[in-house]
């Protein structure tokens, strides 16, 4: 039994304008590649990406994860969660759900979440472990497999947020999870801030696996 990571990247991102948001550069990688890279550091060979809009083009960028195509991607994030969870192997004991456009998330953030889950997974009924930030609770979030049937029934734009409010949840403070890129202006500001921070403090952060970020 093992934990798998599910990256949601199926949406059209209309607020981003004419450009394909998943192809926006975050450092030297596209947003999609960046998300896959961070997830793969933590869970090699246990990462899936749900694609929909422009999936033929975007699938070419996914080299370290399984691609799951959601034919109903335009119905909302709930349908992508349901599609992705349905494609998980039977051996999956839990799934960590994250968004492609949470560009500030690092493998270190994901490792903090999984570390907390590892402390609790032996409980008779393991709780959901999720990020907490300014707006409350949200993804990334880890759902044990006894929640899979509920996740597979999701549809529309609602997503799984109500499940965080209705069930036993342990939260991990994570300010980086509050940053998601919806517009080109947000993308430009994020990259500008990231560059200025690197120039002021060039010290490189190492993940628990020893890989520099």
Q: What local confidence, expressed as pLDDT, does residue 169 receive?
A: 96
Instruction: State pLDDT tens for residues 26-66.
Output: 999 999 999 999 999 999 999 999 999 999 999 999 988 99
Average pLDDT over residues 104-122: 95
pLDDT digits (tens, 9 = 90+) for 135-188: 799 999 999 999 999 999 999 888 899 999 999 999 999 999 999 999 999 999
Contact 106, 207 (CB under 8 A): yes
CATH number corresponding to 2-200: 3.90.550.10
pLDDT given for residue 195 in this prediction: 64
* pLDDT tens digit sequence for 63-85: 889 999 999 999 999 999 999 99
């Amino acid at each position: 039994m093992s934990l798998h990571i599910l990256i949601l990247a199926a949406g059209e991102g209309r607020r981003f304008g004419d450009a394909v948001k998943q192809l926006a550069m975050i450092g030297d990688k596209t947003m999609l590649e960046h998300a896959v890279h961070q997830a793969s550091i933590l869970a090699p060979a246990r990462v899936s990406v749900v694609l929909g809009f422009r999936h033929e083009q975007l699938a070419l960028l996914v080299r370290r994860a399984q691609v799951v195509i959601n034919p109903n991607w335009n119905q909302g994030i709930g349908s992508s969660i349901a599609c992705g969870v349905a494609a998980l192997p039977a051996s999956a004991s839990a799934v960590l759900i994250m968004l492609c456009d949470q560009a500030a998330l690092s493998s270190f953030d994901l490792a903090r979440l999984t570390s907390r889950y590892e402390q609790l997974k032996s409980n008779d009924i393991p709780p959901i472990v999720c990020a907490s930030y300014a707006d409350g609770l949200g993804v990334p979030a880890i759902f044990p497999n006894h929640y899979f049937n509920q996740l597979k029934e999701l549809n529309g734009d609602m997503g799984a947020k109500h499940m965080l409010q209705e069930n036993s949840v342990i939260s991990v403070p994570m300010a980086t999870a509050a940053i998601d890129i919806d517009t080109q202006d947000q993308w430009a500001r994020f990259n500008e801030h990231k560059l200025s921070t690197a120039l002021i403090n060039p010290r490189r952060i190492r993940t628990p696996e020893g890989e520099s970020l």
